[in-house]
Structure 1
Amino acid sequence: MTAYGISTYAYFWRFSGRAPEPMTLTAMLQDTAELGGQVFQICDYAPIESYDAAQLADVRATAEDLGLRLELGTRGIRTAHLDKYLDMAGRLGVTLVRSMLNTVDHQPSVDEATALLKESVPRYADAGVTLGLETYEQVATGDLLTVVRAVDDPHLGVVLDPGNSVARLERPVDVVAATAPYVVNIHVKDFSFTRRDGWVGFTYAGCPLGEGLLDYDGMVAAVRAARPEHADGINQIVEHWLPWQDEGFDTTARLEHQWTQHSITTLLSDTSTTPARSK
């Protein structure tokens, strides 16, 4: 069954350095459960890499007590790094790890990325863990798919977030159509353009789910049509691009909570069709 959940990115400002008391991972798990989430994706959350075995066991136990599944997210595909996350996945009971091809100090070519993943993905497969590579502006969607096809393993797929690729001048509808047969996880994040003061350019940022340019209905329908035998196992994870508010932390945190609550409630309100309106 598809699970609907929340990512650490939905708590971005509340655990950031701008928070008077940054939100803990335990608090995020508890909030996710209270909002009705079924899965929590610990994504690009640097502190998790320093957790010892006992701390990871505590996170797993907390999630299990709250009735939550866990997923992991990181960046990079170097062998040692992916091995580290595979070990953490085992300790946390995780069956999906999201990553990205590039890091600050490593931007592999298609050939190098393919070679690295051909080494790591079989170990993920042996452990029953799927590795998903996210769509984003630093890597052309065509190149990302070339790597996935070349590795040719069902335990390597795509984490679909069509809004990310707009900065590469890739249309979301095209990204969805191209990646749909390989999608293993979906980030649900709405987005819109607004004119800047004086009509000097645009701001491209997040907005509440259903109010922007994300064609949620079309995205989910495309993935379900392309992967009918896997569609019920593709989890949907709430994220945001909420800009910092001029009024300060309290206003920003309140909006972040409202957006998260709205998104997960919308997703859970009708799990048999498609809850958000197409744009």
Structure 2
Amino acid sequence: MAHGISTYAYFWRISARAPRPLTLTEMLTDTASLGGRVFQICDYPPIETYDAARLADVRATARDLGLELELGTRGVRPGHLATYLRLAGELGVTLVRSMLNTAGHRPTPDEAVALLQESVPAYADAGVTLGLETYEQVATDDLVSVVRRVGDDHLGIVLDPGNSVARLERPVDVVAAAAPYTVNIHVKDFAFTRRDGWVGFTYAGCPLGEGLLDHAGMVAAVRQARGDRRVNQIVEHWLPWQDEGFDATARLEHQWTQHSINTLLRSE
């Protein structure tokens, strides 16, 4: 397994709250400096506006830094997936992460199967794998069913068990169900903390190894189920905004990312 970083690990530093949001080149450079080997450009709409020359620059920058690129988007409509397959070709990407739902489209499992049956053969022909992420809007059993019914090795699951807790699915159950189909792992830890006055809980991110994620167990399950198949681990965060403001938030975001990468390096 190679390890890397997602745009989601730079969530606040590329947000509208940043005095000057980081550029894609700066994120790539930072990923390499931290020891990452992969960078996943995930839910980053500006990439769709890049022309061929700019995409070639991104690909060359990643190559010069020793980084493998991955892409991430949302939705399963064939036209949109075709756009990301084209981008994958321009960038030299062999894995695209997506999600079944978008703000304007929530396909049933049957509809999702039909739509993916239109798109996945082109991905397979191009040697690109499409991974559908586990998350609370779709039951993990339904997601697994969709992947099984399409029945193509170039369609799998992006495993992120923390997302499904909001659906009252236990992370260990999500891992067990998804592991045989996992093509990519999002690594982010998570925990519940009591709110003021002990009225309810906050469910948010925490440094890797300090929360409820059984990272070692997850990796072991995927390795056992997938054998020699290469499954990259991509660092993300659910870092809450810090009361002290942007500088404190950005500094902590960087610290969490470095800690996660160091943890992955030690686990190799």
TM-score after normalising by structure 1: 0.95
Partner residue, 1:69: 68
Partner residue, 1:254: 251
CA offset at residue 3 of structure 1? 1.0
| Partner SS state of residue 239, structure 2 | coil
CA offset at residue 238 of structure 1? 0.2
Distance 1:223 1:264 in 2: 19
| Partner SS state of residue 131, structure 2 | strand
| Partner SS state of residue 13, structure 1 | coil
Partner residue, 1:276: none
Within a 5 Å distance, the mapping from 1:1-279 to structure 2 comes to 2-230=1-229, 233-271=230-268
Give per-residue Cα distances to partners, 1:71-110, cap 9 Å, x unaligned: 0000001000000000000000000000000000000001
Distance 1:55 1:227 in 2: 36
RMSD (CA atoms): 0.5
CA offset at residue 229 of structure 1? 3.0
Percent identical residues? 80
CA offset at residue 270 of structure 1? 3.0
Kindly provide the amino acid, as one letter, of the partner of residue 175 in structure 1: V
Structure 2: gaps of 5 or more residues: none
Give per-residue Cα distances to partners, 1:131-185, cap 9 Å, x unaligned: 0000000000011111000000000000000000000000000000001100000
Partner residue, 1:277: none
| Partner SS state of residue 131, structure 1 | strand
CA offset at residue 22 of structure 1? 0.4
| Partner SS state of residue 123, structure 2 | helix
CA offset at residue 228 of structure 1? 1.1
| Partner SS state of residue 21, structure 1 | coil
Distance 2:267 2:79 in 1: 41
Distance 1:218 1:133 in 2: 21
Kindly provide the amino acid, as one letter, of the partner of residue 201 in structure 1: G
CA offset at residue 47 of structure 1? 0.6
Distance 2:45 2:12 in 1: 15
Matched positions, count:
268
| Partner SS state of residue 148, structure 1 | helix
Give per-residue Cα distances to partners, 1:13-49, cap 9 Å, x unaligned: 0010000000100000000000010000000011111
Distance 1:266 1:227 in 2: 22
Kindly provide the amino acid, as one letter, of the partner of residue 131 in structure 1: L
Distance 1:113 1:199 in 2: 42
Distance 1:61 1:222 in 2: 35
Distance 1:65 1:133 in 2: 29
| Partner SS state of residue 71, structure 1 | strand
Distance 1:24 1:208 in 2: 25
Distance 1:222 1:58 in 2: 37
Structure 1: gaps of 5 or more residues: 272-279
CA offset at residue 186 of structure 1? 0.2
Kindly provide the amino acid, as one letter, of the partner of residue 116 in structure 1: L
Kindly provide the amino acid, as one letter, of the partner of residue 253 in structure 2: E
